[in-house]
Structure 1
Amino acid sequence: MSWTQIADKFFVNGQIDAADVAAAKEAGIELIVCNRPDGEEANQPPHAQLKALAEEAGIEFTYLPMRDLNVLPEAVEGLKAVLAQDKKVLAYCRSGRRSSVLFEAAVV
Structure 2
Amino acid sequence: MDIRQISEDYSVTGQIAPEDIKQISDAGFKSVICNRPDGEQPDQPGNDAVRNAVEAAGLTFRYIPVISGQMTAENVAEQASALAELPAPVLAYCRSGTRCTNLFIAIQQSKG
Question: For the superposition of Structure 1 and Structure 2, which TM-score range results when normalised by the shorter chain?
Answer: over 0.9
Structure 1 gaps, min length 5: none
Alignment-derived partner of residue 57 in structure 1: 57
Deviations 1:10-58 (A, max 9, x none): 1100000122211111111111010100001111000011001100101
TM-score w.r.t. the length of structure 2 is: 0.89
Contact 2:2 2:14 in 1 (8 A): no
Matched residue count? 108
Structure 2 gaps, min length 5: none
Alignment-derived partner of residue 46 in structure 2: 46
Provide the identity percentage: 38
Contact 1:77 1:106 in 2 (8 A): yes
Question: Superposition RMSD on alpha carbons, in Å?
Answer: 1.3
Q: Which moved more, 1:32-41 or 1:16-25?
A: 16-25
Contact 2:76 2:107 in 1 (8 A): yes
Aligned residue type for 1:97: T
Alignment-derived partner of residue 104 in structure 1: 105
Aligned residue type for 2:97: G
